Each structure stands twice: as C-alpha cells, then as structure tokens.
C-alpha cells in the first residue's frame, strides 16, 4: 500500500486489464444502497431511473449489496412511529422480493455470513437487507426483532433529525429539535443497542452525533459500523467522523465505510458546483489507513440516496475504484478488505455475540 495520495489530474484513466481482472475476481460488497419508494418493481430491470439495480450490479462485477429501508425523520410521536414502522416493514418486504432469476440475473436475499458466502460461491448476487433510521423502531425495541426476522443486518441509529433513540449529527429545528435532545444516546437508545447486540444487528453510527457515536461504541458488545460516512479532517461536514471518532473505531474494532457523496468528500470550491471523483474517495481511504489501519475501512456508494461521483456514477463502474486503489499501491488482500472483507468480519462478530444469547436470526 501507499501512504500518500497521487496528484489528481482531473482525468480518470481507463481501468487496466489488471484492474478489470482483479475486480471480477474479488468479493465486492457495497454497504449502503437505497431503494426507490414507492416500489416500482424494477429491481431486475436495467433502468436509467436507478443507479443500482441487479443487472447493473452484475455488469459491474458487484457481488453483494446492503439495500436499506430508509425512513425519513418526522415527528417523534405515536402517529409518526406507527407510520415509520409500517413503511419500514413494507420496504423490507420489497427488499426480500429482490431474489430469484429474471432477465439473465440471479440474486438471493442473505441474512448471515454463511448465506452471503454461499451465494458468492454459487455466482449469485447477495442482497442484504438493512434499516436506515432507528425512528422506524419507534419507542419499542421489540420491533427490532421484526426487522431481523426480515433479514436486516444493521440499523442506522438516526437520520437527519433527532429521534427517540439518539441525537443526530444534523438536527432539525423544523421538527422541534434542539442542538441536542438527549446528550447522545437516550435510555431507550441504550436499550435498543442491547437488543441489537442480542439479535445480530450491527449498530450503524452514520448520521449520529459525535456524542451518540462515542456512546454507542462504549455501549455495544459488538464493534460498530459507520455504513456511509467520510473523514472530517479532509472535509469538515458534521456527518463525517473526526480523528477522535476514528480512534474510537480502532480501539473497538469498528469500521468506517467511505461513501460516494461529494459533499462529504471535498469542501465546496467557492460557488462552483460540488463534484468529486474516485481519487477524492480514495484520499479518505488513505487517511483512515494511515490513522487507524487497513482493517477499519470499507466502501459504500449511497447510490439512489444521493451518492454519485464523476467516475462512479452507478453500480457498473466500481472497477474504477479498484483501479485507483491499485494505482495507490494497495495489494490484493488490502483491496479485498476494503471491498467487503472488513464489513463481513463485523457481521460475523455480530452473529457470534447473538449466538451466545441464542437469538441469532
């Protein structure tokens, strides 16, 4: 691996034959992909309306993806909780329908490491359900078992706006938020973390406030993941993790999955339109590697949730990322760790803790 970035030329070289071959040979997992809602029934169609569908994943040599039931933050009350829970369960049902064979593509919904590995060995794409925003749980941690029963592997504690579990990195005064409502995790949030540990659900700290994130690291029996975040030292955005948070991830064994959101990757250049490319993305990987090590960083796109780079526009172009990692001097084992190995390790740890309590789904 290298310890320094190459100068950015603004021009993306075509991937080498070596990069193409390596990308096709690796297990490649994108840890955060949104689904359209309401559902359009087009997961098996190659459509311009989606940055990620199953044909694009196949064309792009992608092995697996975490598809999230994203629930926007609304009022923290009984009505809001009921609506969020109903929508989340419906979205998880749609994600669970993304399997079988259509249009020359075969996919399988997988909820354990063994199932994901079996799908990969069989040459079948793995669809991994997840939940974005603990608001969908409402004020009842028992609901988390329903999410796990539908295959979910992580729950993002918050989105933009505080909920009953925790404070978010971005508060919403329009929803009545103070800068902090709980001072990090609420008592309910701590209870939810314990339930998630028992169920094999990873705690996702993307979107969480710094206090929430650090408290979640301390409260969880399993290392946490930031499923789609970037480095605050390189881009000062409240959604990004600073050095203290990265160090906490290292100490606990957690992982930050760098994401393809230009606003999190590069500061705005005056009034120019915001843009970024895979070189900027890999700058963030480089930083995490230098700060806390290869085993603590991975890859996510946030496609269909706002993510897109000039040279990673959709699921067909992941090879450009592999090519840039090779150009930076990373070897096959390191690139494999970024593209899924580190995230899979956390899934396995979550399962091990859940199995100790006899509650793994």
Does residue 258 have a pLDDT over 70? yes
Ramachandran region, residue 143 (left: φ > 0; alpha: ψ -120 to 50; beta: rest): alpha
Can you give the pLDDT at residue 12?
75
Q: For the chain, first and last CA: distance in Å?
A: 38
Q: What is the pLDDT of residue 312?
A: 98
Specify which residues 127 forms β-bridges with: 65, 109
Query: Which tokens belong to 215?
Result: 């408290």
Three-class DSSP category at 218: helix
Q: Is 200 left (phi over 0), alpha (psi -120 to 50) or beta?
A: left
Identify the pLDDT of residue 357: 81
Q: How does DSSP classify residue 82? A: H
SS3 193: helix
Q: Given a cut of 80, is residue 4 above it in pLDDT?
A: no
Q: CB–CB of 178/171 below 8 Å?
A: yes
pLDDT of residue 2: 43
Burial pattern 282-309, b for ≥16 Cβ within 10 A else e, equals: bbbbbbbbebbebbbbbbbbbbbbbbbb
Residue 313 CB coordination number (10 Å):
15
Which residues lie below 8 Å from residue 275, measured CB to CB, with a gap of 6+? 262, 266, 309, 310
Whether residue 38 is preceded by a cis peptide bond, meaning omega within 30 degrees of 0, is: yes
Report which of residues 6 and 154 the model is more confident about: 154
- Work out the mean pLDDT of the chain and round it to a whole number: 96
Assess whether pLDDT exceeds 60 at residue 3: no
How would residue 57 be classed by pLDDT, with cut points 50, 70 and 90? very high
- Mean pLDDT, to the nearest integer, of 54-71? 98
Residue 50: partners with Cβ closer than 8 Å, 6 or more residues away: 36, 42, 56, 304, 314
Instruction: Give CA torsion, residues 87, 91, 94, 99, to 10 deg.
Output: -160
Instruction: Provide the token pair at 337.
Output: 């760790």
41, burial (CB in 10 Å: exposed 0-12, middle 13-18, buried 19+): exposed
Pairwise CA distance, residues 243 & 262, whole Å: 20
- The pLDDT tens digits of the residues spanning 103-112 come to 999 999 999 9
Count the residues in the chain: 361
* 3-state class (DSSP) for residue 190: helix
Residue-level pLDDT at 5: 42
Mean pLDDT of 203-231: 98
Q: What is the mean pLDDT of residues 20-45?
A: 98
Main-chain dihedrals φ then ψ at residue 332, nearest 5 degrees: -60, -45
Tell me the whole-structure pTM to 2 decimals. 0.96
Residue 194 has a pLDDT of: 97
């Amino acid at each position: 691996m290298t310890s320094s970035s190459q100068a950015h030329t603004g021009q993306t070289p075509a991937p080498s034959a070596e990069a193409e071959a390596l990308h096709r040979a690796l297990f490649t997992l994108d840890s955060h992909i949104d689904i359209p809602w309401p559902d359009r029934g087009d997961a098996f169609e190659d459509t311009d309306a989606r940055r990620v569908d199953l044909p694009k994943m196949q064309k792009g040599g992608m092995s697996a993806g975490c598809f999230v039931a994203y629930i926007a933050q609304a009022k923290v009350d009984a009505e809001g909780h009921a609506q969020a829970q109903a929508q989340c369960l419906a979205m998880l049902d749609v994600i669970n329908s993304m399997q079988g064979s259509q249009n020359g593509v075969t996919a399988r919904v997988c909820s354990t490491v063994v199932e994901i590995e079996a799908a990969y060995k069989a040459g079948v794409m793995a669809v991994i359900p997840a939940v974005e925003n603990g608001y969908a749980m409402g004020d009842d941690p028992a609901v988390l078992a329903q999410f796990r029963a539908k295959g979910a592997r992580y729950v993002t504690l918050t989105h933009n706006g505080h909920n009953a579990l925790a404070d978010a990195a971005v508060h919403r005064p329009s929803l009545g938020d103070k800068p902090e409502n709980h001072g990090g995790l609420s008592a309910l949030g701590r209870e939810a973390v314990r339930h998630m540990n028992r169920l094999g659900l990873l705690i996702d700290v993307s979107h969480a406030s710094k206090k929430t994130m650090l408290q979640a690291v301390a409260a969880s029996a399993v290392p946490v993941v930031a499923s789609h975040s970037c480095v605050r030292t390189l881009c000062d955005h409240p959604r990004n993790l600073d050095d203290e948070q990265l160090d906490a991830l290292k100490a606990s064994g957690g992982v930050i999955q760098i994401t393809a959101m230009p606003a999190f990757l590069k500061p705005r250049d005056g009034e120019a339109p915001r843009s970024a490319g895979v070189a900027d993305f890999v700058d963030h990987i480089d930083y995490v590697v230098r700060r806390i090590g290869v085993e603590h960083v991975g890859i996510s796109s946030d496609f269909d949730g706002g993510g897109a780079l000039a040279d990673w526009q959709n699921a067909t172009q992941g090879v450009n990322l592999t090519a840039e990692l090779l150009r930076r001097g990373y070897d096959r084992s390191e690139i494999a760790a970024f593209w899924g190995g580190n995230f899979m390790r956390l899934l396995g740890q979550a399962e091990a803790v859940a199995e100790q309590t006899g509650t793994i789904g």
